[in-house]
Structure 1
Amino acid sequence: MKTNPYLKALLFFAIITIVSCSKKEDPYVEPSPLLTLELKSDAGTGELVVLRANDSVNFTVIGSDGVDYTSASQIFVNNVEIAGDYYIFEELGEFTVDAIYNDVSSNSLNFEVLAPTERALTIDFPKALRNQTITFGLLDSQGNNTASDATFYVDDTAISGFTYSSATEGSFVVYAEYEVDNELHTTASKTFEVFIPKRKVVIEDYTGTWCGFCPAVALAIDTAKVATNHISVVAIHETGASLPDPMHFERVQDLKDAFGIGGLPQARLNRKQKWLDPYNVNDVLAMAGAETDLAIAIDSKVTGANLTVDVKVVYASGSVTGDKIVVYLVESGIIYAQANYFNATSGHPLEGHGNPIPDFVHNDALRNSLTDIFGDAITETPAYTEYKKQYNLEIPSEYNVDNLSVVVMVVDSDNNAKNSQHAEVGENKTFE
């Protein structure tokens, strides 16, 4: 008696699915408030605090719950733990101070200890937008800003006053000359950057491990990743009617309803533009890297099981009413069987890989949303002013922390993505 090869493949896939799903996974976890810590000092909490040699500074650690955790926290100066909650800065130089309580990390405070004749050069926007005004400061050892008494040089050319802007992007070097007791001094040089935001196209792949045609989109995304880094990818999995998908996103149906997603595979660019078969990479490249008017920065860290994501958005022309921010957590490197209807297609990249492919690597799977899935409202933000928001999540044990990334997008009132950014968890990705 002959056995139908398709039924054999289906049976094999079902067995793999049953074995692989022996541990129930619920990839969607509603974000809940987690403890965050704010490190403060009696010397100040600005971007940079200047001190004199042998100045003593007292620190406090306050939790988001209002509790004072100072006595129970570890405090570090330049990564070396100190005893108690104060420190005497005996040496000249730069210092960073942090605190940890029960695997929860605080913000960092930056200090610079100066000799009486030294000055600390400050730059309010080390990475600025085109035509954005950058202000330089010059702090003495008592914290006084002496910029008005100095001469600043940008790329070795003296400028008028202590502000600067550039209509072209690039990297610049600044230093200052100043007098103390009729003696001329020069600060150390610092660099700053002027940039024009470049658009990162959002590619959303509605997919399922049971969907035999879905690998075509995954292959097209791989091609796009080779062609440009100006993309952010989110693979939104849905379980099948009879074959579950362990990466199933709990609110996939809400997304499908909002964006008109029918049978799979389906792909969308910038949330709403259809990316149709054969998923031509030129459709992506036509938009990727184009100049735009807003940029996104991501800084995330994991302490124990706690994920903290700091997001910044800056507009060249100010925010638009209705703009929203979407923050997704995605996971790559998930090995799980994938149905493959191209197994017998001559010349196809997946020809002969099997149906199903037992060791298919799934990337960029949407695991969680740290905002509403359609975004949280961005408050009115003027041009060149950073909109900042922090998000926290307790990472479920099912996730592989080493393979997690954050995808952030800014969308308009109609849910069209205006720009995006992505970064691995633990990576600090600045505006670009």
Structure 2
Amino acid sequence: MKIYPYFKPLFLFAIIAVAVISCSKKEDPFVPADPGLTLELKSDAGTGELEVLSVDDVVVFTVLGSDGEDYSEMASYYINDEPISGRTHIFAETGTFAVKAVYDDINSNVLNFEVLAQTERALTIDAPRAMKNQTITFGLLDSDGNNEAADATFYVNGNAIAGFTFSSSSDGTFEVYAEYVVENEMYTTAPKNFSVYTPKRKVVIEDYTGTWCGFCPAVALAIDTAKVATNHISVVAIHETGASLPDPMHFERVQDLKDAFGIGGLPQARLNRKQKWLDPYNVNDVLAMAGTDTDLAIAIDSKITGANLTVDVKVVYASGSVTGDKIVVYLVESGIIYAQANYFNATSGHPLEGHGNPIPDFVHNDALRNSLSDIFGDAITETPAYAEFKKQYSLEIPAEYNVDNLAVVVMVVDSDNNAKNSQHAEVGENKTFE
């Protein structure tokens, strides 16, 4: 049984004083999502991820804002990061070209073009990163955009395959190229790489905690141990202000989460939202699930332009989406220095023995700052096997947040709020399916 130490009023006042002084910066507890402005770049050459052109083709670009305005004349345009004049461009040379538009420091999506000579062909791969046993389709486009795959021979890892599709029952990286004939001459494309993977489960660890909670550091220490043991975890620390002591990382809707998941007195920890992780927080409870094979994967691509954060999330299922599944998108911040109550200060042999009570310079990581989605998730619409469910979120980042320490945690939960898989990425990072 835990014995809670007796706090005299003077000592309680000291904790409050240290806590207030030790805060590194003012923390904004909760800011509702603000959609912000996003830009969509289009061209009259087509809307695919890769468009094929002939030498001297002329392309006209347009830019539409998420606010419904046309920014085509106001935006600046860049090809391979070099500025161009106006929004019309003549592609006078062969090669690959990436085009983007910028308005008021806001970047658009990127359009990719491949300019071909008369005898060249563009090799395409519909799934450059595919799940195990997923069918991958290769294409071979001429300068007019016609697909000549049916008349070509494709080689994967040096071996000719039948037709223009491929699948693998094993994970790995593969190389593909094509041989084709133009006017009785044999040509070979440059090789391209693709990969095959089996989705691995990332366990969600949610730490219900408070800076005033003297036993709460035990969970933080267990999480640190888990992070060393595996990268197949996603961590969210959900802070709550105490009855007498404030917590600057207090999450505004913490009570809604506590009510939904049966959270009582702190500390409390949950695995995959609903499974109790009990004292002594055995890391093997996490490792038993972390990194196991699963049937869905999550990708995150986030960008910051000025103060605007845009998060693009993708979910893919091996067997198609499941009715009732939802997507949860959280913004967390690490590296926050703030005093932490420590009931282990006098516990012989404990890692926090002699660190003080409170610990004045405790580092708080993975603190939940905002929920870009509904805190219990947004519905995932019906999606076929291997097709991508996509959703974009935006948020105006409060000035008080340390952008360098922000990360995005995404989880897919079922109709009963059990987390089926998760993914995490630093803000500004493009993390693909894994």
Task: Please indicate the TM-score interval, normalised by the length of the shorter structure.
Answer: over 0.9
Aligned: 1:183 with 2:219 = no
What amino acid sits opposite 2:332 in the alignment?
A: V
> What displacement does 1:21 show?
6.5
Aligned: 1:378 with 2:380 = yes
Structure 2 residue matching 1:70: 3-state secondary structure: coil
Partner of 2:110: 108
Aligned: 1:252 with 2:254 = yes
In structure 1, distance between residues paired with 2:349 and 2:158: 60
What amino acid sits opposite 1:263 in the alignment?
A: G
CA contact (8 A) 1:293 1:317 kept: yes
In structure 2, distance between residues paired with 1:225 and 1:20: 26
What amino acid sits opposite 1:333 in the alignment?
A: G
Partner of 2:71: 69
Cα distance per residue 1:235-279 (max 9 Å; x no partner): 000011111000000000000000000000000000000000000
In structure 1, distance between residues paired with 2:308 and 2:274: 32
In structure 1, distance between residues paired with 2:8 and 2:219: 23
Partner of 1:315: 317
Cα distance per residue 1:307-332 (max 9 Å; x no partner): 00000000001111100000000000
CA contact (8 A) 2:325 2:414 kept: yes
Partner of 1:264: 266
Partner of 2:347: 345
CA contact (8 A) 2:33 2:394 kept: yes
In structure 1, distance between residues paired with 2:406 and 2:205: 17
1:6 to 1:219, Cα distance in 2 relative to 1, 3 A: farther
Q: Which of the numbers 384, 398, 401 marks the counterpart of 1:399?
A: 401
In structure 1, distance between residues paired with 2:24 and 2:126: 54
Partner of 2:3: none
Cα distance per residue 1:195-254 (max 9 Å; x no partner): 110000000000000001000000000000000000000000001111100000000000
Partner of 2:55: 53
Partner of 1:26: 28
> What displacement does 1:9 show?
4.7
1:169 to 1:278, Cα distance in 2 relative to 1, 3 A: same
User: Which one is further off, 134-143 or 229-238?
Assistant: 134-143
CA contact (8 A) 1:177 1:185 kept: yes
Q: Which of the numbers 219, 222, 241 marks the counterpart of 1:220?
A: 222
What amino acid sits opposite 2:307 in the alignment?
A: A
Partner of 2:328: 326
CA contact (8 A) 1:325 1:375 kept: yes
Partner of 1:413: 415
What amino acid sits opposite 1:27 in the alignment?
A: P
| Structure 1 vs Structure 2 CA RMSD | 1.4
Q: Matches of residues 141-156 of structure 1 in structure 2 within 5 Å?
A: 141-156=143-158
Runs (4 or more) in structure 1 with deviation over 2 Å come to: 4-12, 16-27
User: Which one is further off, 193-202 or 17-26?
Assistant: 17-26
Q: Could you tell me which runs of 5 or more consecutive residues in structure 1 were left unpaired when the two chains were aligned.
A: none
Q: Which of the numbers 347, 351, 357 marks the counterpart of 1:355?
A: 357
User: Which one is further off, 222-231 or 104-113?
Assistant: 104-113
Partner of 1:230: 232
1:19 to 1:364, Cα distance in 2 relative to 1, 3 A: same
What amino acid sits opposite 2:222 in the alignment?
A: A
Partner of 1:98: 100
What amino acid sits opposite 1:165 in the alignment?
A: S
CA contact (8 A) 2:274 2:418 kept: yes
In structure 1, distance between residues paired with 2:21 and 2:229: 37
Aligned: 1:15 with 2:17 = yes
Cα distance per residue 1:51-79 (max 9 Å; x no partner): 11221211010111221101111111001
Aligned: 1:132 with 2:134 = yes
What amino acid sits opposite 1:212 in the alignment?
A: G
In structure 1, distance between residues paired with 2:220 and 2:83: 47
CA contact (8 A) 2:210 2:241 kept: yes
Q: Normalization by structure 2: what TM-score?
A: 0.97
CA contact (8 A) 1:201 1:419 kept: yes
What amino acid sits opposite 2:195 in the alignment?
A: E
What amino acid sits opposite 1:393 in the alignment?
A: L
User: Which one is further off, 163-172 or 348-357?
Assistant: 163-172
In structure 2, distance between residues paired with 1:182 and 1:10: 89
Partner of 2:299: 297
Q: Matches of residues 75-90 of structure 1 in structure 2 within 5 Å?
A: 75-90=77-92
What amino acid sits opposite 2:58 in the alignment?
A: S
CA contact (8 A) 2:331 2:407 kept: yes
Structure 1 residue matching 2:411: 3-state secondary structure: strand
What amino acid sits opposite 1:160 in the alignment?
A: A
Structure 2 residue matching 1:268: 3-state secondary structure: strand
Cα distance per residue 1:116-159 (max 9 Å; x no partner): 11111000000111111110000111111111110000111111
> What displacement does 1:25 show?
3.8
Partner of 1:36: 38
Q: Normalization by structure 1: what TM-score?
A: 0.97
User: Which one is further off, 268-277 or 47-56?
Assistant: 47-56
Structure 1 residue matching 2:285: 3-state secondary structure: helix
Q: Could you tell me which runs of 5 or more consecutive residues in structure 2 were left unpaired when the two chains were aligned.
A: 1-5
Cα distance per residue 1:156-183 (max 9 Å; x no partner): 1111110111111111110000011111
What amino acid sits opposite 1:192 in the alignment?
A: F
In structure 2, distance between residues paired with 1:296 and 1:152: 30
1:122 to 1:23, Cα distance in 2 relative to 1, 3 A: closer
User: Which one is further off, 203-212 or 29-38?
Assistant: 29-38
What amino acid sits opposite 1:342 in the alignment?
A: F
Q: Which of the numbers 266, 271, 281 marks the counterpart of 2:283?
A: 281
In structure 1, distance between residues paired with 2:26 and 2:148: 63
Partner of 1:196: 198
CA contact (8 A) 1:9 1:355 kept: no
Cα distance per residue 1:82-135 (max 9 Å; x no partner): 111111112211110011111221110001111111111000000111111110
Structure 2 residue matching 1:72: 3-state secondary structure: coil
What amino acid sits opposite 1:306 in the alignment?
A: N
In structure 1, distance between residues paired with 2:414 and 2:285: 21
Between the two proteins, what is the percent identity of the paired residues? 79
